Homo-oligomer: A and B are copies of this chain.
Amino acid sequence: MKEFAVSLDPGSRKPLYEQIYEAVRDAILSGYISCGEKLPSTRFEAEFLSCSRSTVELAYEQLLSEGYIESQPCRGYYVSDVRELYHLTDFMRESVLPVPEKTHIRQDYRVDFSPNGIDLSEFPFAAMGKIMRNLMLDEGEHLMKGGDPFGEENLRQAICDYLYQSRNVRCLTEQIVVGAGNEYLQILLSQVLGRERRVAMESPAYLRAFRTFRNIGYPVEEVPMDRDGMRVDILTETEADLAYVMPSHQFPMGTVMPMKRRLELLNWAVQKEGRYIIEDDYDSEFRYRGKPIPALQGMDRSGRVIYLGTFSRSIAPATRVSYLVLPAHLVKIFREICGFYACTVSGIMQQTIYHFMKEGYFEKNLNRMRGIYKTKHDYILAELRRCSWVKKIRGENSGLHLLAEVDTDLSEDALIEACKERGIRLYGLSEYFLSGKSVFRDPVFLFGYGGLNREQIAGGLEEIGRIVTGTG
């Protein structure tokens, strides 16, 4: 037993007990005191260091809880067998920790025809900021505690009302589940629907949903589309028991599924026990001619449609709020299997959206955005029609992108590459075919316009024209 000469520094930011703890630990690790040796008693050591006994006790407790020393009742503290620990750590020292690669650096484009481009220049940020601040002041404590795992009641009610009025979706608040994004809700759904599923998707397909299904482990069947959407005759020939469709505006094709095809699809669903249709209604809000076609969910009388909606387009992507409308008979099983998950959307974001809707900002903003996007839509449509190199335009009057079939000798990839060199980002249709090969003879491109202004649209199309016609 020997005392420890620790040069204590009472002026340090480090507490005294921690200084003692570190000194003893280092002495053990360096072999200055060895296994089995007895430590000085706390009283003795405290006298030696001229500090209070409780300070030494605290240091010993820390050493005890980290396993450097052991306590033997009525006898005192002894150094643990740390040589064994060394033996364990030896081989670990040898292996080198690899440094992960740096994140890929994004290239800057002058004009990016991304179909995900959006325009937030008119968004009521100040109003939303004020809502958030007031919520924090008035309801902060309530908001920061855990809430309803399926989403707050008032928000679910507001979603219910909105969906009924604008999409003819018929449901009770109990059927709604609020979650952080479509992919998360898709994953939850898979936990309820079980592992042994097979999904049919429209081809070309919405890739985020496809990748999510792949990660979940569901085999995906590509079902070709005609001008009315997924071909139900081909769907029927597959083994799929889930059909993931976007009837109001298919991504990427922009196809709107007419009533008859919808009924055929519903008919497919009721032909066999356990079949479901997942209706992804992601951007039905943006339709520039006529009124949006009511959702499939509202036509379903047999509880076979699972409706998936999002505020990503109707408010903004980074709100990260989506919602699921479950058929009534799935509500109970969903609660049993997924009821223990806390809601993935923060309480403050849920209430912000609720107030945003309740105070009329949501509708006003949506109407304004529809106007802004319609103007851009009409402009790019007119411009594309003037381009001699555009053979056919698809997907008009809805959403935030159009498709154009281009008359060119270049391959899709070659044109994308040539555009990239000139600072223009183009998106080919091929990648949306799971085979990687487009069914169209000529290259087809997605022209997103949501995030672009007139100059960018006109300039971008001109540049492409120069490349395609070989005049640049």
Contact = CB atoms under 8 A, between A and B. Distances in A.
A129 B118 contact: no
Contacts of A133: 129-130, 132-133
A145 interface: yes
Contact of A174 (B103, B121, B135, B329): B103
B291 A342 contact: no
Nearest to A98: B328
Contact of A318 (B17, B144, B315): B144
Interface stretch (A259-267, A376-384, A386-394): A259-267
Contacts of A141: 120-121, 123, 125
Interface of A is mostly: helix
A303 interface: yes
Given A145-B317, A302-B95, A291 B62 contact: yes
B215 A337 contact: yes
A220 to B, nearest CB: 15
A345 interface: yes
Interface stretch (A39-47, A81-89, A410-418): A81-89
Nearest to A136: B129
Interface in A71-127: 80-82, 84-85, 88-89, 91-95, 97-103, 116, 118, 120-121, 123, 125-126
A338 B207 CA distance: 13
Interface stretch (A177-185, A274-282, A434-442): A177-185
A106 to B, nearest CB: 10
Interface in A247-300: 256, 258-264, 266-267, 270, 289-291, 293, 299-300
A318 B293 contact: no
A367 B407 CA distance: 67
A13 interface: no
Contact of A293 (B65, B85, B187): B65
Interface stretch (A4-12, A238-246, A346-354, A458-466): A346-354
A300 B174 CA distance: 46
Contacts of A144: 120, 123, 125, 315-319
B88 A266 contact: yes
14 contacts: A62-B291, A67-B262, A82-B259, A89-B266, A94-B301, A100-B332, A123-B140, A123-B144, A125-B136, A125-B144, A129-B134, A207-B340, A320-B342, A346-B346
A338 B215 contact: yes
Given A102-B174, A346-B349, A129 B140 contact: yes
B290 A58 contact: yes
A293 B130 CA distance: 42
B215 A184 contact: no
A392 to B, nearest CB: 16
A306 to B, nearest CB: 14
Given A84-B260, A260-B80, A125 B137 contact: yes
Given A318-B144, A345-B320, A172 B99 contact: yes
Contacts of A302: 91-92, 95
A85 B260 contact: yes
A303 B98 CA distance: 9
A43 to B, nearest CB: 19
A316 B145 contact: yes
Given A88-B266, A100-B328, A318-B147, A65 B290 contact: yes
Nearest to A132: B132
B301 A317 contact: no
B65 A256 contact: yes
Contact of A264 (B88, B128, B263, B337): B88
Contacts of A344: 180-181, 184, 320, 344
